[in-house]
Structure 1
Amino acid sequence: MKKLSQKEALELAVNTLQKNGALKENALPLALGIIDAENQGIKSHGFHYLPIYCLHLKCEKVKGSASPKLNVISNVAFKVNADNGFAHRAISLGMEKLIPSAKENGISSLAITNSYNCGVLGYHTKNIAKEKLIAIGCTNAPASIAPLGGIKPVVGTNPISMAIYNKGEVKIIIDQSASVVAKSEISVRAKSGEKIPEGWAFGPDGKNTTDAGVALKGTMAPAGGYKGFGIGLFVEIMSACLTGSNLGVEASSFANDQGGPPGTGQFFIAVNPEKFSNTFEDKIAKIIQSIESQEKARVPGSKRINNYKKNINNEISIKDELYDKIISLNK
């Protein structure tokens, strides 16, 4: 197991992305997201994904020289064309307008189009929530979930996230996909040869499978059956239809080098609770207390928040095989 300081890990991520074709201004926002995922304990979106990002730079599925453009629609509505580059830079650019607008006007919105995999969606909502705002975000993905009664995928795992600031820090991060698990969790197991639990996914024939490789050729199981598909469809409408981005059925895979840029989208809403209620903070504190007072209950996002606090000043561990792969990408 290779151990790196926080600074060394960030430099490794930035340098690797640059070596494979990304401009520094595009590499750094993504690298910060990778390190944050590692610190939150979300390894599937940390260094594990770095070789895939590099593959997509090489095959031009993502544009390393992208120059995102901001469009001010109104004083509370903004849109960024990501130019088929990494989502992280486009989102960061949009937040420069979204956050002050929400603080001043009470609510503001941000659409991202011609985008790409945004990594951990909750990372972006957390960054908004740090500004004492309610943060809501959603992103679509290549189709992998079939409608109830069907076997052909129509929407992606399409996560939705909400982050809430309370009493000095971000206390709640809801970040969940429309599927039982994120597709990356199956990809990780497919690489290691590990079986997946029954109920995570279906094979191409629409039947349950515990074979991760077969699952990647089939469809993801929606969380809560038809309700999960409904959430996925909601996100598809907000992230693709509303932003003018590719639908899941039009987008190329996030996992391989087949096809051109996926061109997916994201949509964010920021709300200043002080503009709407003078009791919001106390109400949130009461909800949190009502959860934490129960012995085995956990506030959504508390695990990743606690992981981050514990790991932020510690070294980051990377499996030797993965580290060697990353080093080879720097040659």
Structure 2
Amino acid sequence: MVTSTVTLSLTEAEELVMAALCAVGTHSQNARSVAAALVAAEAEGQIGHGFSRLADYAAQVRSGKVNGMARPLCSAQNDAALTIDARNGFAYPALDIAIDVGITAARRHGCASVAVTRSHHCGALSIQVAKIAREGLIGLMVANTPAAIAPWGASTPVFGTNPIAFAAPRLNNDPLVIDLSLSKVARGKIMHANKVGEAIPEGWAVDADGKPTTDPEAALAGSMLPMGGAKGTALALMVEILAAVLPNANPSRSVSSFFTAEGPPSGSGQFLLVLAPPDIEAFIARLELILTFINDLEGARLPGDRRVASIFMAREKGLSVPRHYIDYARELAGHHA
């Protein structure tokens, strides 16, 4: 079945999402920040973090699970170690502040760390670290998410898919951006298979008893398998320490669902590291040597190439979004077009 789509410019898409969120009780500055992030994710091709999230976000604002009016607060342990309290609101306004203060501090001190607490779903991390790299700095970001991965050898989920993203500036080129989650496949693929009644390949997940399964419903009740086996769960623990323990955010096992309006605020956390190379021109020159060598290898592809191409197409031709998402957004915003 072919899904009917609507094509919008990036500006039109942002204005629509912003209006929809304002209509359900979101502060205008917060709504603009969320809209920019959702549209940027859609433009990257990360549709699981784009328009598909609007209904969940709107429902959570309405239920009070997300405080749409909360404005983030920034505090400092010292000049180069900062904390942002998202105050159980959306993650994106807090991340906007985190990146601004992190860049300023890193330029002054060479590096800065920013921890975000009492936060929420933060979407595509690639968008955030790319902002840092476009300012001529190196960005690293991690986030914790609702529990979905068991420690190696166990069957009870403790860690989220806990994504990691990295970005570095390049000469006359888009930043190098690396963005990955620590599960073998995205949890959204299993959720989609469950919705449409399809089996999943063996090796994606285990059931609640820790046994391999091809049943998506059993997989969702069990545990995602980590990429890289035991090494993946070690990385997930590392992310948990940086994104939850350090900022005093909820551990993954206590982070409530990003998809439902029921339950308490998610209370998740994020952590950003911003680095200012002492000689940015020399750093970029050395980086280009490595990337050029990789590009020259037959069959090799740099991380993020598809992302860059997708963004270019979105800017040139607009976003083609499933009509039901646009209709929903227009209904919320009061635009019956």
User: Same fold by TM (over 0.5)?
Assistant: yes
2:218 counterpart (214, 217, 226): 214
Q: Distance in 1 between matches of 2:168 and 2:249?
A: 27
1:92-123, Cα deviation, whole Å (9 max, x unpaired): 11222111211222111111011011000111
CA shift at 1:194, angstroms?
4.3
Change beyond 3 A, Cα 1:276–1:73: farther
State which drifts further: 99-108 or 241-250.
99-108
Is 2:173 the counterpart of 1:148?
no
Partner of 2:37: 33
Whether contact under 8 Å (1:161, 1:173) holds in the other structure is: yes
Partner of 1:304: 307
Partner of 1:326: 329
Partner of 1:101: 105
Is 2:91 the counterpart of 1:87?
yes
Question: Within 5 Å, which residues of 2 pair with 1:281-292?
Answer: 281-292=284-295
Question: Within 5 Å, which residues of 2 pair with 1:213-292?
Answer: 213-273=217-277, 275=278, 279-292=282-295
Change beyond 3 A, Cα 1:196–1:19: farther
Partner of 2:54: 50
Whether contact under 8 Å (2:71, 2:93) holds in the other structure is: no
**CA root-mean-square deviation:** 1.7
Q: Output the amino acid matched with 1:63.
A: N
Q: Distance in 1 between matches of 2:288 and 2:332?
A: 47
Whether contact under 8 Å (1:6, 1:313) holds in the other structure is: no
Q: Distance in 1 between matches of 2:209 and 2:68?
A: 38
Q: Output the amino acid matched with 1:307.
A: S
Whether contact under 8 Å (1:81, 1:115) holds in the other structure is: yes
CA shift at 1:143, angstroms?
0.9
TM, length-normalised to structure 2:
0.93
Partner of 2:123: 119
Number of residue pairs aligned between Structure 1 and Structure 2: 330
TM, length-normalised to structure 1:
0.94
Query: For structure 1, which runs of at least 5 residues remain unmatched after alignment?
Result: none
Query: For structure 2, which runs of at least 5 residues remain unmatched after alignment?
Result: none
Change beyond 3 A, Cα 1:191–1:57: farther
Q: Output the amino acid matched with 2:98.
A: G
Q: Output the amino acid matched with 1:167.
A: L
CA shift at 1:48, angstroms?
1.1
Per the alignment, in what secondary structure is the counterpart of residue 25 of structure 1?
A: helix
Is 2:299 the counterpart of 1:317?
no
